[in-house]
Amino acid sequence: MPQPKDSGDIAGSWSILYAARRQLLKRYPTVWDIPIRKKHTDVIADELSSGMKVLEIGSSDSGLRHFLESRFEGVEYRSMDVDRQTTQDYYSLDEIDEKFDAILFFEVIEHMPFAEGMPMLGRIYDLLKPAGLLIMTTPNVAHPTHYYRDPTHVTPYSHEGLGGMLVSLGFEVKGMYRIYNAPFIQKVFRMYIAALVHRYIGVDFTHSLLVVARRRARDRPGTRE
């Protein structure tokens, strides 16, 4: 697959994105082939480790700071949000001049046009240290209503669409998950009884998709930085 030098080349090339999507679909042919996790913090707990430097983009009230600092000894947390009514370390990605072991990016990219989301992911790639992790979520568009409940949503992403964007930018998709948390009886009904009906009619019951992507330890010549 051709490897362009920047996100602008990729966004303007349907062939690059199509090839990347096909690569992702070999691993996850349908949304129902993606495993379910209860909470996004469960994935964070599995993927991160003590002493990491972590950036949260779209951090709002920096609610994850306490979770990270209580879970991982010596973690360095930085926050970034465009809302200047909140207290952040950064208010723009352009201000950031340090590299991170992990970047958290939850329920943000769907609020941006595709032409802005692609460069955003490219900038995130550049802010990661080699082999650094991106953990991000977006509404699951296979759910019949969840994405459309928020009028500020701009761009819907299927699992292969989002995964293909990341692959085309040079990321390795380490894992994908559907996030679903419900009372026990409801969860059993959804996962083991109603799931067959959902699949037959082409919808899913999970609200969010989570992707764990890794920057390559060493970029191929001529691809990125």
Q: Let me know if 96 is exposed, middle or buried by CB neighbors in 10 A (0-12, 13-18, 19+).
A: middle
Is residue 15 scored above 60 in pLDDT?
A: yes
Task: Quote the pLDDT of residue 193.
Answer: 87
Domain boundaries, the chain: 7-214
Task: Quote the pLDDT of residue 198.
Answer: 86
Task: Quote the pLDDT of residue 83.
Answer: 94
Q: pLDDT tens digits for 28-80?
A: 999 999 999 999 999 999 999 999 999 999 999 998 999 999 999 999 999 99
Task: Quote the pLDDT of residue 191.
Answer: 85
Q: pLDDT tens digits for 144-167?
A: 999 999 999 999 999 999 999 999
- DSSP H or E stretch at residue 209: strand 208-214
Q: pLDDT tens digits for 161-218?
A: 999 999 999 999 999 999 999 988 998 898 888 888 888 899 999 999 999 999 998 7
Task: Quote the pLDDT of residue 14.
Answer: 82
Q: Which CATH number fits domain 7-214: 3.20.20.70, 3.30.379.10, 3.40.50.150, 3.40.309.10?
A: 3.40.50.150
In this structure, how many other beta carbons lie within 10 angstroms of the beta carbon of residue 91?
14
Return d(Cα 76, Cα 53) in angstroms, integer: 5
Q: Rounded to two decimals, what is the model's pTM?
A: 0.91
Task: Quote the pLDDT of residue 142.
Answer: 95
Backbone torsion region of residue 75, taken as left when φ is above 0, otherwise alpha when ψ lies between -120 and 50, otherwise beta: beta
